[in-house]
Amino acid sequence: MHALSHGSTSTPTTIAVPPALSLPVIEAAFPRRLHPYWPKLQRETRAWLLEKRLMTPEKVEEYADGLCYTDLMAGYYLGAPDEVLQAIADYSAWFFVWDDRHDRDIVHGRPDAWRRLKDLLHSALDRPGDHLGHQDPVVAGLADSVRRLNAFLPDTWNARFARHFHAVIEAYDREFHNRTEGIVPTVEEYLELRRLTFAHWIWTDLLEPSAGYELPDAVRKNPAYRKPALLSQEFAAWYNDLCSLPKEIAGNEVHNLGISLVTHEGMTLEEAIADIRRRVEECISEFLDAEQEALRFADRLDDGTVGGKETSAAVRACVGNMRNWFSSVYWFHHESGRYRVDSWDDRSTPPYVDNATEGEK
């Protein structure tokens, strides 16, 4: 299967999707679009990574565009004001860098460094203004991201975002423990943990500043809204597992749905891959039904009042971007250099990470 990709240049390129990973329904029924701000978004996020010292100048120059982090966000949060999309994209790039730091702390056996970082991230999330100048770029980068994201919606949204991200940090700590001890979670344990390490509710929360509207709790928690939101994130997490399985096997990972299926369900690797693919395809078909129910829900919210009209429009915008997540995630996995293990000198060591083995940041 092929698609025209915007990639990291102004000239579209043709991307071939391996047959084992191709999803014709995504290519046919989920058209890919990019936010018109994307070219500037890419430049600004590259500059932000440099300014915040989150990647070295050499790695930014060689890898930043090819990792396609900004493409992922520009394909998801369509309709967002440029300033909002920029803050989200920088936060997303930070998230990938943090994920890599977490991985290297495990690989190089730095539990004390990880614990210090975890505690600092909790503090930076609650008091970003106090950590903007922190000597650790990962701490300062989160502080800057949170400070900017907090500017768009009321304090109630900010508190919810912080609550959800505190849970993500703690989930990363559980993953640190599992990987350090060689513990492969059961399938159910893994699925629960994955909803946190993939930050399902963070990316869903960010739909609201993109729409310029904080949804009332009664709307956000309504099954008609919550179901398509969860399905869009489950698709992304499980498709990521499918695509990253070779990378994670090479790195002696224990956190992948395929690894849990092989370890605890007695499946062969081929059977596990087929099972993940089945789950991914079910997410898509269930989303198509849930999407229609969510749009009917949005119609019911428009009760003739100004508030009802605004809430209805915001729900429609959020549901539309839930749909965009499918195509954005799909193409990201085939465009980004993050998963191209066959091109790495060492399949267990991504070339875009800081792989220092001595000292602590």
| Rama region for 199: left / alpha / beta (φ>0; ψ in -120 to 50; rest) | left
User: What is each CA distance from 162 to 92, 155, 159, 214, in whole angstroms?
Assistant: 15, 10, 5, 15
The Cβ of residue 340 has, within 10 Å, a number of other Cβ atoms equal to 15
Q: Catalytic: 96?
A: yes
Among candidate residues 165, 176, 198, 287, the one labeled active-site is 198
Which parts of the chain fold into alpha helices (H)?
Answer: 24-29, 38-51, 57-59, 65-67, 69-74, 82-107, 111-126, 137-149, 155-181, 187-197, 200-205, 207-211, 217-220, 223-250, 257-265, 269-301, 306-335
Q: How many Å apart are CA 186 and CA 266, to the nearest integer?
A: 12
Q: How many Å apart are CA 230 and CA 220, to the nearest integer?
A: 12
For residue 11, give the DSSP letter: S
Q: What are phi and psi of 200, to 5 degrees?
A: -50, -50
For residue 13, give the DSSP letter: E
Among candidates 235, 164, 149, 225, which has minimal Cα distance to 197? 164
Contact 48, 93 (CB under 8 A): yes
Among candidate residues 30, 96, 287, 326, the one labeled active-site is 96
The answer for residues whose C-beta is within 8 angstroms of residue 179's C-beta and 6 or more apart is 106, 253, 254, 255
Among candidate residues 32, 46, 95, 326, the one labeled active-site is 95
Q: Catalytic: 287?
A: no
Among candidates 69, 67, 60, which has minimal Cα distance to 89? 69
Q: How many Å apart are CA 343 and CA 341, to the nearest integer?
A: 5
Paired tokens of 102 = 């977490």
Which are the catalytic amino acids? 95-96, 198, 338
